[in-house]
Amino acid sequence: MFPEDDKEFFKWLIKIRRNIHEWPELAYEEHRTAALIAEELSRLDIPYRTGVAKTGIVAELGHEGPCVALRADMDALPLQEETGLPFASKIPGVMHACGHDGHVAMLLGAAHLLKANPPSGRVRFIFQPAEEKGAGALEMIKAGALKGVSAIFSGHIDRHFKVGEIAINEGLICAFTDTFTINIEGKGGHAAWPHEAIDAVVVGSLLVVNIQTIISREVNPAYPCVITVGKFEGGTAHNVIAERAYLEGTIRSTHPEVRKRIIDGLKRIAKGVGDLHRAHIKLKIKEGYPPVINTPEEAEIAREAARLIVGKEGVLKQPHPSLGGEDFAFYLKKVPGCFVRFGAVKKGFEKAPAHSPKFDFDERALPVGAKFLAQVARLALKKLREKEDS
């Protein structure tokens, strides 16, 4: 079950999404996307501010009463699109491979619905840059996007669920996203005389293998977590022992104590491997996004809103926390709220994950997301007014 009774509304949402998809923009470069959003908000006669956190937009409907915020992210990824879609990216090496084009369309759709039938209270629409890279949410907060906001809601297109399904959980739903770099300095030499050298590639290889034992042998398996080394550079020629090597990776964890244990283990192994092979190893760990933790009351409001849009059978639970990161977490550290998943798996694209050059989603999810966001804002404002009156 999914609502698409208003064909013109559906066509409008598709037009917006495809326009943004054809012209993707990276973090803090979303100028064309912001201009499109501003144009649509002007047509809806909803006041807005541009240039928030460089390329963000904050709009607000209503003048009095409590305020609920709705958020969409705008940025694309540095990928060459391979979907073969008629509206594929026209920007070489840049693609909307995570559904943010759909998120913008959904939020504009919610603005359209709320403008047509305004709730009692204020709804703030946050169009945020740089979710993928650059912590745009944090910059929007610094720019005052949450000032006066009592609750915030958002969602993400998800290929693990069908159109007409909305997954909602309270508590932790997305992981810590720390990153690390390892610089290895050994001693270069000729491949024929390895005893005269310290092979940085061998040292790096041992690190890659041994790092995995932190997850498999040192962390309680009841807590989802992972370490991935995504980049390994080393060596210059087939007959030269590498003097230097470089690793980059990410740590995903769902519990503060587990996160600390992983980081401590990484430090210990890096030092141990370096000592073992007489190599100099420099490890740097960069703190990433905090986990997304939905508050119970707002999660229940979201479920109530979802039931009104997709029916009781369409409201599901995420089976386990995602190890993906999401900077919506920064908003939730300031105000209560809920982040949901919109089912959007598309036939023929089931095996194309987010951040894949072949990613796409079922556009019938667009009116589902738009109507959910509008409904959750109405219900949240109703709850806030009831609290004020009690």
Question: What is the pLDDT, as a whole number, of residue 6?
Answer: 81
Question: What is the pLDDT, as a whole number, of residue 390?
Answer: 75
Query: What is this structure's pTM?
Result: 0.93
> 100 a known binding residue?
yes
In sequence order, the 6+-apart residues with CB closer than 8 A to the CB of 26 are 75, 76, 77, 78, 94, 133
> 98 a known binding residue?
yes
Strand 315-316 vs strand 166-167: parallel, antiparallel, or unpaired? parallel
> 82 a known binding residue?
no
7-174+291-389: CATH architecture: 3-Layer(aba) Sandwich (3.40)
Element (H, E) at 8: helix 7-22
> 174 a known binding residue?
no
Sequence ranges of the domains in the chain: 7-174+291-389, 176-286
- Options 3.10.400.10, 3.20.20.70, 3.40.30.10, 3.30.70.360; CATH for 176-286 is 3.30.70.360
Euclidean distance between CA atoms 182 and 176, whole angstroms? 20
- DSSP type of residue 170: S
Euclidean distance between CA atoms 97 and 57, whole angstroms? 22
Local mean pLDDT, 10-residue blocks, the chain (390 residues): 67 97 98 98 98 98 96 98 98 98 98 96 98 96 98 97 97 96 98 97 98 95 95 98 98 96 97 97 96 98 98 95 95 98 95 95 97 98 90
Euclidean distance between CA atoms 377 and 123, whole angstroms? 7
> 195 a known binding residue?
no
Question: What is the pLDDT, as a whole number, of residue 5?
Answer: 56
CA–CA–CA angle 78, 344, 31 (5° rounding): 40
CB 72 within 8 A of CB 106: yes
